[in-house]
């Protein structure tokens, strides 16, 4: 094939990919046990954040999450047995993203754990993400104890059945509209989703009240929705995932479909190269710690799938929408604007669905393109939480995804289409 022809094919594929991202119509449509919701999930599988990793190399906090998952599933009776099972490889431990599930933080999802289900009404594709758990929990922070088990039971036995019923009754909650309004109210949808959480409350309360649940269930559900910090984040991530699910494996498309870390390695996927991961050493986040007693030596390198938000053109790419996020790390309003403007260099388009007031209502960039990354030398900035070696969030900041993974991806892309 001539070089011109290849160039045209890539452009056409990228246009199609971008169109799909922009015209997606995402909604929160359900919340069910992972085993029922996620195709490919089974009783012996435990999902984790980031690219694949052998048990021996997995970071301690994620290992502990897997052990917690084994215990929660009663696949082992004691913690000792659980470690033995894991070490022997008798549990299938795999990347959540490989099943279109977003593993925020350590990203543990087991068969009985419930996941929010979001769907892109345009492609019909779905994305899944466990509900956020607040400051302590299994899925995000890898912490497992009696309190966490109790909360998981409430989510599985009370919250999910009630909300799944309500979502079915009301036909789902439009998350694209929530994110659009949030972007106008200083949310960048990764480390800040304050307005989005508030909108969610206002949208879910009426059908929740109408559903005729008993008073105790109603109070439990509202308590979880209103009082869990950043509760909408899970729906934001599942929505982004549902869109990215719809752009996987498009021939010639150079658009990034996944970016994630497991605390040891960072990995990305690209549309045309399908399920293949391209990895590099995970960097540390630069940012602000929640207490002066913590510093980088307490933190693990990038861990989590939440940069699914950046992959969909939000978070670090939409920094201009949420200057307060940058300010909390010592940056200025102008820094926030600059960050978004810089990211345009590596993106294929502008997301007009989410106009940002301080950009004179221009949208943030969307569609991270490995070709543009290689051409410009600019790498994507992702916002994220800083996770302690002991488990739990100890700060928030940002990091650049290193050039190496994009180079690897491009090499494989070039090989596939015989460009070398």
What residues make contact with a second copy under the rule CB under 8 A?
A: 181, 184-186, 194-195, 198-199, 201-202, 205-206, 209-210, 215, 218-219, 222-223, 226-227, 322-324, 327, 332-334, 357-361
Q: Which is nearer to a second copy, 142 or 323 (CB)?
A: 323
Smallest gap, in angstroms, from Cβ of residue 403 to a second copy?
32
Smallest gap, in angstroms, from Cβ of residue 266 to a second copy?
30
Smallest gap, in angstroms, from Cβ of residue 211 to a second copy?
11
Q: Which is nearer to a second copy, 168 or 334 (CB)?
A: 334
Smallest gap, in angstroms, from Cβ of residue 181 to a second copy?
8
Q: Which residues pair with 279 in a beta bridge?
A: 267
Smallest gap, in angstroms, from Cβ of residue 104 to a second copy?
22
Q: Which is nearer to a second copy, 153 or 332 (CB)?
A: 332
Tokens 């048990």 map to which residue? 55
Distance CA 362, CA 329 (A): 25
Query: How far, rounded to the nearest angstrom, does the alpha carbon of residue 44 sit from its chain's CA centroid?
Result: 23
Q: Which is nearer to a second copy, 196 or 310 (CB)?
A: 196
Q: Which is nearer to a second copy, 74 or 227 (CB)?
A: 227
Q: Which is nearer to a second copy, 42 or 334 (CB)?
A: 334
Smallest gap, in angstroms, from Cβ of residue 369 to a second copy?
28
Q: Which is nearer to a second copy, 273 or 351 (CB)?
A: 351
Smallest gap, in angstroms, from Cβ of residue 308 to a second copy?
24
Q: Is the separation of the CB atoms in 95 and 266 below 8 Å? A: no
Q: Which is nearer to a second copy, 21 or 321 (CB)?
A: 321
Smallest gap, in angstroms, from Cβ of residue 216 to a second copy?
11
Smallest gap, in angstroms, from Cβ of residue 329 to a second copy?
13
Q: Which is nearer to a second copy, 223 or 415 (CB)?
A: 223
How many angstroms separate the Cα of 206 from the Cα of each of 155, 337, 386?
20, 37, 36
Smallest gap, in angstroms, from Cβ of residue 419 to a second copy?
43
Q: Which is nearer to a second copy, 228 or 254 (CB)?
A: 228
Q: For residue 253, how many C-alpha atoms fall within 13 Å in the half-sphere facing its CB?
A: 28
């Amino acid at each position: 094939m001539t070089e011109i022809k290849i160039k045209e094919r890539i452009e056409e594929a990228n246009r199609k990919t971008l169109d799909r991202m922009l015209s997606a119509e995402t909604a929160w449509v359900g919340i069910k046990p992972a085993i029922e919701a996620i195709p490919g999930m089974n009783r012996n599988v435990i999902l984790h954040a980031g690219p694949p990793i052998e048990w021996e190399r997995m970071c301690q906090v994620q290992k502990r999450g897997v052990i917690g998952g084994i215990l929660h599933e009663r696949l082992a009776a004691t913690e000792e047995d659980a470690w033995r099972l894991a070490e022997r490889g008798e549990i299938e431990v795999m990347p959540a993203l490989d099943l279109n599930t977003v593993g925020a933080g350590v990203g543990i999802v087991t068969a009985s754990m419930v996941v929010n289900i979001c769907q892109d009404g345009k492609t019909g594709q779905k994305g899944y993400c466990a509900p956020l758990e607040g400051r302590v929990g299994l899925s995000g922070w890898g912490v497992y104890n009696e309190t966490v088990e109790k909360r998981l039971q409430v989510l599985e036995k009370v919250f999910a059945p009630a909300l799944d019923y309500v979502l079915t009754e009301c036909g789902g909650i439009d998350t694209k509209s929530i994110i659009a309004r949030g972007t106008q109210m200083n949310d960048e949808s990764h480390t800040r989703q304050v307005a989005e959480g508030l909108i969610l409350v206002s949208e879910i309360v009426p059908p929740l009240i109408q559903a005729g649940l008993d008073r105790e269930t109603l109070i439990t559900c509202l308590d979880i929705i209103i009082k869990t910090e950043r509760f909408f984040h899970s729906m934001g991530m599942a929505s982004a995932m549902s869109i990215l699910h719809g752009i996987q494996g498009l021939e010639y498309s150079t658009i990034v479909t996944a970016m994630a870390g497991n605390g040891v390695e960072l990995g990305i996927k690209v549309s045309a190269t399908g399920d293949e991961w391209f990895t590099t050493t995970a960097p540390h986040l630069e940012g602000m710690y929640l207490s002066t007693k913590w510093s980088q030596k307490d933190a693990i390198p990038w861990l989590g799938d939440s940069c699914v938000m950046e992959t969909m053109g939000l978070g670090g790419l939409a920094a201009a929408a949420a200057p307060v996020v940058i300010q909390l790390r010592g940056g200025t309003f102008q820094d926030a604007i600059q960050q978004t403007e810089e990211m345009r260099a590596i993106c294929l388009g502008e997301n007009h669905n989410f106009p940002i007031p301080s950009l004179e209502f221009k949208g943030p960039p969307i569609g991270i393109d490995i070709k543009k990354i290689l051409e410009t030398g600019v790498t994507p900035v992702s916002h994220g939480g800083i996770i302690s070696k002991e488990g739990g969030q100890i700060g928030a900041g940002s990091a650049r995804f290193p050039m190496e993974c994009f180079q690897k991806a491009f090499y494989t892309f070039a090989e596939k289409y015989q460009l070398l």
